[in-house]
Amino acid sequence: MTELWTTTPGGYLIVLAILLPLAGIILSFTLGGRSAERVALGSTPFGLALACAIALHVGRAGKPIVYVIGALEPPLGIALRADGISAIMLITTAVIVTAAALYARAKFATPDGIRESRSSLIFWIMLQSIWAALIIIFVSGDLFNLYVALELLTFAAVPLVCIDGRPETLVAALRYLLFALFGSICYLLGVALLYGAHGTLDIPLLAQRVQSTPVVWTAAALMTGGLLAKTALFPLHLWLPPAHANAPAAASAVLSSLVVKGSFFLTLRLWFYVLPGLSADQAAMVIGCLGSAAIIAGSVMALRQARLKLLIAYSTVAQIGYLFLVFPLATGAQSWSAMSWSACFMQILAHAFAKAAMFFSAGLLAEALGHDQIARLGGAARVLPLTFLTIALSGLSLMGLPPSGGFSAKWLMLQASIISGQWFWTLPILAGGLLAAGYVYRILAPALSDDRISLKSSPKRSQEVLALGLAMIAIALGFMPQTFSDILEIGRPIAAALP
Amino acid sequence: MTDLFPILLVASLGTPLAFLAACFVKGWRRQVLALQWLAPTPALATGLAGLTRAPLTYDLPVSGFTLRLDPPSALLLAGAALLWIIISAAIWRDRQPDNRWGLSWLLTMTGNLGVFIAGDLVSFYLLYALASIPAYGLFAFSDDGERKRAGAIYMAFTILGEALLLLAFAMLIAGEPHGSANIADVMAALPTSPWRDAILGLIIAGFGMKMGMIPFNGWMPLTYSAAPIPAAAVLSGAGVKAGVIGLLRFLPLGLPLEGWGDALVVMGFLCAFYGVAFGLVQQNTKVVLAYSSISQMGVIMAAFGVALVKGQAGAALEVGFYAANHLLVKAALFLTIGVLAIRGGRLSRATYILAALLALSLAGLPLTGGALAKIATKAQFAGGAEAVLATLSSIGTAMLMTHFLICLATSPSGAAQECPAGFVPLWPGIALGAILLPWAFYPAVGDISYAFEWGTLVDGLWPVALGVGLALILRRIDRFLPRVPVGDSIVLEEAAFGRLLGIGSSFKALDARLCQWSAACVSLLLITLALLAASL
């Protein structure tokens, strides 16, 4: 077992992956102005390469790679670990951050003649901060360290919401900040309880030490509540639609596809890595029910929105709901557990790419048409064919039609619910698909009609291609080979129920 | 010599896909779409070659997809491919539909041909969706309110059907002990599956939606009257056969299954008579044909039902033949509407006779393809109540077809513009082909000499004659018949759906309530407490 607490070959890669965006942030601060953009754009390819290198190492070794900071073994020191799920999330994050950075160049390039503009500088620094925070969340093996990363994530995400300074964006950002802080406090309380009871915050060590005691349960409940608030699981979603709908398109894409997944990832770490021993069937059921409610309520609300960006934001509320079905479906060591586990990550990935593509397209539409009212999209597909192709393809994935990542995720989830005898989860899964078809139809059907519409400005081809590229990835995920599930299983503790 | 047949099988799907891929090159797009009538040629060859071969299952490398062809699917594949070739060629010879329409056409064609040869659950689901969803673009991209309505209703039933099938397929694969998605494997595991009844119910409902089974029949008349004639021809001919192949593949034929079989027989005949009854009160020829499709698909369902009850494994080919005949005749009938509309008033007697032969072929007029279709399914409809009901349905079909011939005198509005003029010189060939081609295929199904026996001829003739007579009498009392809106029950379903939409506003109120600070904080507290309570 000591191999969990000693640096393995390739462990330095994790450190590099964290240091890269951190160095980027510091460089951007010191150089300022136009350099911030250059630093951010310049570092993304390296980040992607590092993520791939980590994935390769993990895949080859078949076990997590570890780096112990300062060679101090936990519980004294802190260990960084990249397992299968970290590797997959690192790659996803790198791809989407890269796409967002390229997409944002049009809006957040420092204008000529000005040495430095506030909004550009903030955007590029915050984008790198989000990236850094996510990387730490994906590889850290220590609950307090994870708390710090979670805070960094929130504090980097909030400024992106109100970056253009309009009053309603400030309100949205404040809402987001305050509610996220509530979440943080809950999480921190839980961490403190665990530390008090077991004297360590290292995940594998804790997993060995925790017992099914009231303290542990209180800690788990508090931490989960906090994390759910940050993930905007229904009915804790009050902050998400205004925040995601008011941010600039590039930021919305990152917030919707990555930032909420950060806190969700931590929830997974908590239940499947720290507390796999708790017999948590009922808790899992509670979370599953909330997820189902999110699917239905989020989709219905998406159907009723007048603004495209709000529709997409409510669709995020719904799509997040699917993720939480993993809790009732993947606990225990049964045959369907691995299936649900892959389904959950397939859903994370499919939603990340499809939603980023959606938000990019919504941004393009808003600029080309001067508004984002769905009722006034009549005939828009004739003048913006590429953008609507993107919306259609990502819509395909959101609805769960094949071939797409969204389909693969639902296909596996449905199978898992049937095999496990929890057939009732099939109802929200299917209903969510139908409702999603409804809201995608609401966007596409008028746009494809014969009406005439005039463009204010024609969209940038490069941005359209970026969005289409992401949507294509969401589709291509439908052809993911079996190795995807195998990688996800690397380093996943198999539950052995405690007394 | 290596067997080229698997290559041909792959090419039947690969060629339309290659055409689709070529559409991504902007410079080629127009040309590719205009030449898409060539895309189904390998499928036609495959279908013809596969008629007399042993069933073939072929695993595609890398993708994990499986292709499968047996004589019933070969029959449908050949018929569908032929239809797509003729209609596409005629359309693009005369006019240049815009790319949006052309692409919808190509996508529908790809899915439609593919669904007959898909051999695993995932590719079947994919191609089935492809055969259904893009067809929306063939008639609903319009600013006309009625077309938009038809499109929305079509889409709603399509997506609902897809959802039911998705659940059925997930149950099918869950019941397969080795996790194989191959249709042959999952069907082998079906009889012992714990979810057998749920699966069968979902399969029948899901594919029934595609086939216009009541109460899901309302979309069909709306769609066919909204669709331009060539599109209506392929949708009614080849499109609904996606539902037939679905039942063919996913009903455990050969395994006596009384309950479900009886249910299917009852449902099938119900649809058969329902279609006739509601078709007789319609005046628009396109709508009449749609109701005839509802009725004919009902007969097919009833045949499947009997086959289930009696455990007839051979029924697949026989019912497949019935469906293939309907495929050719129904498409030809739609084209008849267009051609007669273009030619206008002066029609020769020969034209009328040909149109009448074509229409009555559907009712099983002796010596037409329809008579063969009836003979092919005699094993299903022999003796007992089934035989009586089948004869009654023949009479009904003859009535409906006579009604159609009478209504042909007034063309639906726009029919002349919808139909490319190229069909006019082709039409006699198409009509004769639809009547006679089944003769060429029949030897693969059964003994052809039976069709010429005196008893068979009489058995075929009198229901048709009776039906024609009844229809002529009915015409006298035409003005006493009630007027039913196109799509009958759909009006009620739309109203119910509208009522359902009202729930949305209560969701909105709930959401507004939950999005207040106090509510959100209370929710957070409650969730934490609920999780704590879960430990007790």
Per-residue DSSP letters for A374-407? GGG-TTHHHH-HHHHHHHHHHHHHHHTPSSSHHH
Note whether A297 contacts B507, CB cutoff 8 Å.
yes
Find the domain containing B281 and state its range.
240-490
Residue B64 covered by a domain: no
- With contact defined as beta carbons under 8 Å apart, do A363 and A356 qualify? no
Q: What residues of chain B score a pLDDT lower than 50?
A: 1
The answer to whether A286 faces chain B, any CB pair under 8 Å, is yes
Q: Which residue has the tokens 């329409």?
A: B101
Note whether B534 contacts A285, CB cutoff 8 Å.
yes
Note whether A449 contacts B166, CB cutoff 8 Å.
no
Q: Evaluate the omega torsion of the peptide bond into residue B40 and state whether it is cis, within 30 degrees of 0.
A: no
Compute CA B505 distance to the chain's CA centroid, rounded to the nearest angstrom: 37
Query: Tens digits of per-residue pLDDT, A71-88?
Result: 777 777 888 999 999 999
Residues 192-221 of A with CB under 8 A from B: 212, 214, 217-218, 220-221
Note whether B155 contacts A441, CB cutoff 8 Å.
yes
- For residues B441 and B318, give the distance between their C-alpha atoms in angstroms, rounded to a whole number: 12
What residue of A is the nearest CA neighbor of B126? Answer: A402
Residue B267 covered by a domain: yes
Note whether A418 contacts B529, CB cutoff 8 Å.
no
pLDDT for B1 equals 42
pLDDT for A440 equals 94
Note whether B523 contacts A236, CB cutoff 8 Å.
yes
Of residues B143, B519, B534, nearest to A286 (C-beta): B534
CA distances from A438 to A105, A401, B74, B495, B507 (A): 33, 13, 36, 17, 16
- With contact defined as beta carbons under 8 Å apart, do A136 and A213 qualify? no
pLDDT for A456 equals 84
- With contact defined as beta carbons under 8 Å apart, do A261 and A89 qualify? yes
Query: Tens digits of per-residue pLDDT, A332-378?
Result: 777 788 899 999 999 999 999 999 999 999 999 999 998 889 988 88
Residue B439 CB coordination number (10 Å)? 15
CA distances from A362 to A307, A309, A310, A462 (A): 10, 6, 10, 15
Structure tokens at B478: 């035409």
Which uninterrupted H or E stretch holds A68?
strand A65-68
The whole-angstrom distance between A336's CA and the closest CA on chain B is 10
Mutation pick from B104, B515, B521 vs chain A, by most beta carbons of A within 10 Å, is: B515
Residues from chain A that touch B120, judged by Cβ atoms under 8 A, are none
Residues 227-246 of A with CB under 8 A from B: 228-229, 234-238
The whole-angstrom distance between B130's CA and the closest CA on chain A is 9
What residue of B is the nearest CA neighbor of A285? Answer: B534
CB proximity list for B499: less than 8 A, separation 6 or greater: none
* Domain ranges across chain A: 279-492
- Asked if the model's pLDDT at residue A497 lies above 50, the reply is no
- Asked if the model's pLDDT at residue A35 lies above 90, the reply is no
Query: Tens digits of per-residue pLDDT, A46-62?
Result: 999 999 999 999 999 88
Local confidence band at A3 (pLDDT 50, 70, 90 cut-offs): low
Q: Which residue has the tokens 């047949």?
A: B5
Note whether A290 contacts B129, CB cutoff 8 Å.
no
Query: Tens digits of per-residue pLDDT, A212-254?
Result: 888 999 999 999 999 999 999 988 999 999 999 999 999 999 9
Residues from chain A that touch B162, judged by Cβ atoms under 8 A, are 401
What residue of A is the nearest CA neighbor of B524? Answer: A225
Helix (H, G, I), strand (E, B) or coil at B146: helix
Residue B390 covered by a domain: yes
The whole-angstrom distance between B183's CA and the closest CA on chain A is 16
Note whether A402 contacts B507, CB cutoff 8 Å.
no
Compute CA A446 distance to the chain's CA centroid, rounded to the nearest angstrom: 30
Span A453-473, mean pLDDT? 90
Q: Give me the DSSP letters along B62-119.
A: TT--EEEE-HHHHHHHHHHHHHHHHHHHHHHHH----HHHHHHHHHHHHHHHHHTTB-
The answer to whether A430 faces chain B, any CB pair under 8 Å, is yes
What residue of A is the nearest CA neighbor of B136? Answer: A445
pLDDT for A219 equals 93
pLDDT for B2 equals 58
Compute CA A128 distance to the chain's CA centroid, rounded to the nearest angstrom: 15
Which uninterrupted H or E stretch holds B56?
strand B56-59
Return the ∠ at Cα B40 (arms to B35 and B43), rounded to 5°: 160
Query: pTM score, two decimals?
Result: 0.93
Note whether A430 contacts B167, CB cutoff 8 Å.
yes
Q: Evaluate the omega torsion of the peptide bond into residue B215 and state whether it is cis, within 30 degrees of 0.
A: yes
Nearest one of B73, B77, B114, B111 to B319, comparing CA atoms: B73
What residue of B is the nearest CA neighbor of A241? Answer: B515
Residues from chain B that touch A285, judged by Cβ atoms under 8 A, are 534
Q: Where are the alpha helices (DSSP H) in A111-248?
A: 118-139, 143-161, 167-198, 203-209, 214-231, 240-246
- For residues B287 and B475, give the distance between their C-alpha atoms in angstroms, rounded to a whole number: 18
- Asked if the model's pLDDT at residue A498 lies above 60, the reply is no
- For residues B238 and B133, give the distance between their C-alpha atoms in angstroms, rounded to a whole number: 14
- For chains A and B, count residue pairs whose Cβ atoms are closer than 8 Å: 133
Residues from chain A that touch B154, judged by Cβ atoms under 8 A, are none
- For residues B436 and B438, give the distance between their C-alpha atoms in angstroms, rounded to a whole number: 6
The whole-angstrom distance between A224's CA and the closest CA on chain B is 7
The answer to whether A300 faces chain B, any CB pair under 8 Å, is yes
Residues 368-427 of A with CB under 8 A from B: 382, 399-403, 410-411, 414-415, 418-419, 426
The answer to whether A224 faces chain B, any CB pair under 8 Å, is yes
- With contact defined as beta carbons under 8 Å apart, do B140 and B147 qualify? yes
Residue B66 covered by a domain: no
DSSP tally for chain B: helices H, then strands E: 24, 2
Of residues B133, B142, B507, nearest to A301 (C-beta): B507
- With contact defined as beta carbons under 8 Å apart, do B222 and B150 qualify? yes
- With contact defined as beta carbons under 8 Å apart, do B270 and B394 qualify? no
Local confidence band at A499 (pLDDT 50, 70, 90 cut-offs): very low
CB proximity list for A35: less than 8 A, separation 6 or greater: A27, A28
- What's the number of CA atoms in the CB half-sphere (13 Å) around residue B249? 34
Local confidence band at A446 (pLDDT 50, 70, 90 cut-offs): confident
Query: Tens digits of per-residue pLDDT, A216-227?
Result: 999 999 999 999
Domain count, chain B: 1
What residue of A is the nearest CA neighbor of B178? Answer: A335
- For residues A67 and A69, give the distance between their C-alpha atoms in angstroms, rounded to a whole number: 6
Span A192-204, mean pLDDT? 91
- For residues B33 and B108, give the distance between their C-alpha atoms in angstroms, rounded to a whole number: 13
Note whether A238 contacts B514, CB cutoff 8 Å.
yes
- Ramachandran region of residue B487, left (φ > 0), alpha (ψ -120 to 50) or beta? left
CB proximity list for A352: less than 8 A, separation 6 or greater: A92, A96, A257, A258, A261
The answer to whether A155 faces chain B, any CB pair under 8 Å, is no
Nearest one of B500, B490, B486, B485 to B216, comparing CA atoms: B490
The answer to whether A182 faces chain B, any CB pair under 8 Å, is yes
Note whether A426 contacts B531, CB cutoff 8 Å.
no
Residue B164 covered by a domain: no
Of residues A229, A286, A301, nearest to B531 (C-beta): A286
Note whether A411 contacts B122, CB cutoff 8 Å.
yes
- With contact defined as beta carbons under 8 Å apart, do A308 and A443 qualify? yes
- Asked if the model's pLDDT at residue A426 lies above 90, the reply is yes
pLDDT for B416 equals 85
Residues 457-486 of A with CB under 8 A from B: 479
